[in-house]
Structure 1
Amino acid sequence: METHNMIIENIADPKALERLFREDPKAFKMAFSQAFEQNPDSQVLAVWYERLHFKAAANTEKDVLPQKGFLFMGLLAILAGISTRIIFHFVEIQAIAPLNLAFGVLPFIAAFFVYKNTPKRNVLFFLIALFLISGVYLNMLPLNYKDSIILAYLHLPIFLWGLVGLAFTGNEYGKGSIRLAYLKFNLNFFILYASMAISGMLLAAITMQLFSFVGLDIGEFYFKNIVLFGAAALAIVTSYLVSGNLKIAKHFTPYIAKIFSPLVLATLLVYLITVIWLGKNPFLDRNFLIAFNGILLGVLVVTIFSITESGIDEKKTISDYINFALIVLALIIDSVALSAIVFRLSSYGMTPNRFAVLGVNILIWANLIWIMLSYIRFLQNKTGPSTIQNAVTKYLPVYGLWAAFVTFTFPIIFN
């Protein structure tokens, strides 16, 4: 029987029509026109007509305007590359801190988001002011490696990441769904940037090897003028591609989250059993305590991204139970780390490092408690997955505020 006859035959069966479309979309579209001609008054086929032709119409509207977004992205990429190269020159002669390289990229990513989703003037001025204040403040810090300065260097990128997030969310910075979209953007950005960066490194290696065959060592020149420029420009290009709903990243990242969560859980359980067996003590071993906190941060990141990629489906899956187990495990780790930090504070006194680690562990502990309670309610069918996602997104500004507190006060408090 002909496909278009199957469309007519199943005109009252939406599920059957959907199945026919998914089995062979191209054949369905070709046969649909004939079916619609025979049944022009069918409301069902009228809906299908709009569905099949809406995308083309939408694209036609977009094509009327020049590709301003693409051109603006290209301009920002060039400016980011040039800025990074100039900043690196001053870093190389030790006139400024290496962290200034972040200002060769992050403000341009923020500018792209502002262009794409123009915020109100007060939000825009707030963004510009904070970027300027951060840049000026960074270069007022002494170029030394005291603990308080190092902590400022470590926390400033987190604060700047929060500013980029504000540019991304625009006027809707208070909406959990927009904050969730920013988290997803970060995961997609990392995957796509890493993939293209690896390709770039292979190209660089091949290029330098080719020039070495003719007796030219271009390694230093190539790194300073090509690699640096390309790495900065690539960040802008990646932002453009990911924010344009790149299908590869959109469909790829959920699988990565589902694969990594059980692997991290299994690895972490084996590791903890091993360290207990070996008698490692975070209360006495400083290096082990640092490693313990590093594990905690890693588990928190994996858990958050797993939650952001879980979607809004009300049904529970094995991934939800794995995420819940990760959260409980992370909470145990954080509780042990907190106890060890308090012990070291009472035994050895206050230092910038101990105070900073104490603060971030308290913040993470509170966040994990919130996420865990939300997960318990979800697993008991009392709420939907949006409650869990809210526990993640609503807490994000707290990390940004803590990063700002450490960055701007520690060098003053601890001098």
Structure 2
Amino acid sequence: MTDSTTSLETQVARWRDYVHRHRAIAPADVDEMEDHLRERVADLTATGLDDDEAFLVAVKRLGRLDAISREFAREHSERLWKQLVLVPDADDAGSSEARRELTVVLTLALGAGLAVKLGTTFWDESTLLRNAGLLVAPFLAGYLAWKRRLTWRTLGMLGAAFAVLGVVLNAYPFDPSGSTVVLAAVHAPVVPWALVGLAYVGGRWRSSDRRMDFVRFTGELAIYVALITLGSGVLVGLTFGLLGLVDVDLEPALEQWLIPFGVPGALIVAAWLVEAKQQVVENMAPVLTRVFTPLTTVMLAVSFTVLVAVGGLTTVDRGLLLLLDAVLILVLALLLYSISARDPLARPGLFDVLQLAMVVAALAVDTVALTAMLTRIAEFGASPNKVAALGLNLLLLVHLVRTGWLLAGFCRRRRGFGALETWQTAYLPVYAAWATLVVVAFPVVFGFA
């Protein structure tokens, strides 16, 4: 294979990966567009252009990819992209569509805020916590459904799922002082988020690529929400300080209006920003994962040392075990986001070895935590909390073992990166199924206690 052909294949792979990550394009469409691209390249090289020139001109001539190519140009401006692709829009159709989308976003944000406001007004704290996810998730799913142009059948299925969850959370005769009501409140948000994921993938939930796109969306959404929250906190703090100088107290307005409308509204607006400006945050993902992966590995090593030093596993504090579960979930979230941001064509390197070390450390911690849980159950008997924690840790163990095996094979160059990526997205629905089981079945099995 000549250097020219190698360069062309590299550029096509780079282009394909970029286009594939665009939220509105399905994998089958990417294949079709790549065929068109290669045909145009072949036609142009036949006229005397070299491969690089033909590739650049061919991308420009893919009319329906203008918007995507323009974003690609911004990231790869070291070449001739600016001259060939980065041109002004030909008409106002794009801006008109953007204004319409902004109107939809603001309307849904207002609706989510109103739902939370009504919930805080008419529900007690326990009921509000159980239904927190249901108050906001349908509006976020509604935006994604509008964005993806979902069919009425898919919309009906999502609406029915939200309705069933609402009936379960509010019709079950929970004991206000029992364990199952707390378990339902903790696990309930996972189910609405899974339904948001179904809206995001546009009904193509069997697609590993689309599920990984949702992982990227979740990570980028978290970053945007954090940025909006920090910025809003600074502005609110300054406003409070200034008005406090003239004896104006804004705390009642903050509690009664700003928080109920601002928090859910920020989530909807952040989702819109992810969809509109995803390439901005994608550049942050590799930096964040490279900073926190070694730090998390050290934290896991310290946690493992603490567990081993405790001695009798029946004496391990339940709060410590809950914190360890939170750490393990953080590890998997970090791993997922790191995998979603990685170039699948890149060779294994030092960072992949660091990730393997993190997974091994997480496995050690999870094994000790599982042993402690089983020992406590054997000593004191089963309870809803113990069974739920045990089930979650078993799911984490399976996830980590398979991930470690695939990651070790990739680091040793015995298997491709695709197997590791596919495993992550294929296992995610298991967590949603477990959360649904805890919310729906556990209260019945344990007598709503």
TM-score normalised to the size of structure 2?
A: 0.78
Segments of 5+ residues of structure 1 without an aligned counterpart are: 1-10, 19-40
Distance in 2, Cα, partners of 1:375 & 1:61 = 48
**Counterpart in 1 of 2:216?**
184
Name 2:365's counterpart in structure 1. Answer: 333
Q: Give the direction of change, closer, same or farther, for the CA distance of 1:62–1:362 in structure 2 (3 Å limit).
A: farther
Deviation at 1:183, TM superposition (A): 0.8
Q: Is the 8 A contact 2:117 2:261 kept in 1?
A: yes
In structure 1, what is the Cα distance between the partners aligned to 2:265 and 2:238?
21
Of 287-296 and 342-351, more deviation after overlay is shown by: 287-296
Whether 1:321 aligns to 2:353 is yes
Alpha-carbon offset, residue 161 of structure 1: 1.1
Q: Which moved more, 1:135-144 or 1:391-400?
A: 135-144
Is this contact kept in 2: 1:253–1:309, CA < 8 A? yes
Are positions 1:137 and 2:168 aligned together? yes
Amino acid paired to 2:168: Y
Tell me which moved more, 46-55 or 64-73.
46-55
Cα shift at 1:265: 1.0
What's the counterpart of residue 150 of structure 2? 119
Q: How far apart are the structure 2 equivalents of 1:95 and 1:188?
A: 30
Match of 1:77 among 109, 116, 122: 109
**Residue 108 (structure 2) pairs with residue 102 (structure 1):** no
Letter in 2 for 1:194: A
Asked whether the equivalents of residues 257 and 306 of structure 1 are also in contact (C-alpha less than 8 Å), the reply is yes
Whole-angstrom CA distance in 2 between matches of 1:414 and 1:254: 44
Which letter maps to 2:198? L
Q: Distance in 2 between matches of 1:395 and 1:95?
A: 31
Report the residue type matching 1:186 in the other structure: T
Code of the residue aligned with 1:106 in structure 2: it is A
> Whole-Å Cα distance in 2 between the matches of residues 168 and 325 of structure 1?
32
Matches within 5 A, 1:267-346: 267-273=299-305, 276=308, 278-287=309-318, 288-346=320-378
Distance 1:365 1:61, change over 3 A: farther
Letter in 2 for 1:406: V
CA distance in 1 between partners of 2:125 and 2:254 (Å): 21
> Which residue identity lines up with residue 109 of structure 1 in the other structure?
L
Residues 350, 13 of structure 1: CA spacing in aligned structure 2 closer, same or farther, 3 A cutoff? closer
Q: Is the contact between residue 132 and residue 189 of structure 2 (CA under 8 Å) also seen in structure 1? A: no
Amino acid at match of 2:158: L
Q: Give the counterpart letter for 1:321 in structure 2.
A: V
- Radius of gyration: which is bigger? 1
Question: Which letter does structure 1 place at the counterpart of 2:352?
Answer: D
Q: Distance in 2 between matches of 1:94 and 1:64?
A: 43
CA contact (8 A) 1:117 1:170 kept: yes
Superposed CA offset, 1:111-158 (max 9, x none): 111111123333221111011111222122336131111111111111
Given that residues 306 and 323 in structure 1 are in contact (C-alpha distance below 8 angstroms), is that contact kept between their aligned partners in structure 2?
no
Give the corresponding residue for 1:248. 280
Matches within 5 A, 1:342-361: 342-361=374-393
Aligned mates of 2:91, 2:202 — CA distance in 1: 27
Which residue number corresponds to residue 395 of structure 1? Answer: 427
Q: How many residues align?
A: 379
Amino acid in the other structure paired with 2:139: F
Report the AA paired with residue 233 of structure 1: G
For 2:397 and 2:55, locate their aligned partners in 1 and report how far apart those are by CA, in whole Å. Answer: 51
| 1:345 Cα deviation from its structure 2 partner | 1.5
SS, match of residue 144 in structure 1: coil
d(CA) in 1 for partners of 2:241, 2:423: 51
Alpha-carbon distance, 1:95 to partner: 8.6
How does 1:25-174 map onto structure 2 within 5 Å?
43-44=49-50, 45=53, 47-49=55-57, 50=60, 52-54=83-85, 56=87, 60=91, 62-63=93-94, 65-67=96-98, 68-91=100-123, 96-141=127-172, 142=174, 144-174=176-206
Amino acid at match of 1:216: V
Task: From 222, 225, 228, give the equivalent of 2:257.
Answer: 225
Aligned to 1:363: 395
State the shift of 1:303 in Å: 2.2
Query: Following superposition of structure 1 onto structure 2, how do residues 202-241 of structure 1 map, counting pairs within 5 Å?
Result: 202-241=234-273
Instruction: Give 2:409's aligned amino acid.
Output: R
CA–CA separation in structure 1 for the residues paired with 2:400 and 2:267 = 31
Amino acid at match of 2:378: S
Deviation string 1:322-370 (CA, Å, 9 cap, x unpaired) is: 1111111111211222222222222111110111111111111111121
User: What is the Cα-based RMSD across aligned positions, in Å?
Assistant: 2.6
Given the superposition, is the C-alpha separation of residues 281 and 86 from structure 1 closer, same or farther in structure 2, using an over 3 Å criterion? same
Equivalent residues of 1:261, 1:306 under 8 A apart: no
One-letter code aligned to 1:110: A
Describe the superposition over 1:228-265 as per-residue Cα deviations: whole angstroms up to 9, x where unpaired. 21111111110011022433211112210111101111
Q: Which TM-score applies when normalising by structure 1?
A: 0.84
1:109–1:236 CA contact under 8 A, matched in 2: yes
The one-letter code of the counterpart of 2:420 is I
CA distance in 2, matches of 1:14, 1:153: 54
SS at match of 1:171: coil
Q: How does 1:254-265 map to 2 (within 5 A)?
A: 254-265=286-297
Distance 1:53 1:314, change over 3 A: closer
Partner amino acid, structure 1, of 2:270:
T
Further displaced range: 136-145 or 52-61: 52-61
CA contact (8 A) 2:114 2:261 kept: yes
Contact 1:159 1:404 in 2 (8 A): yes
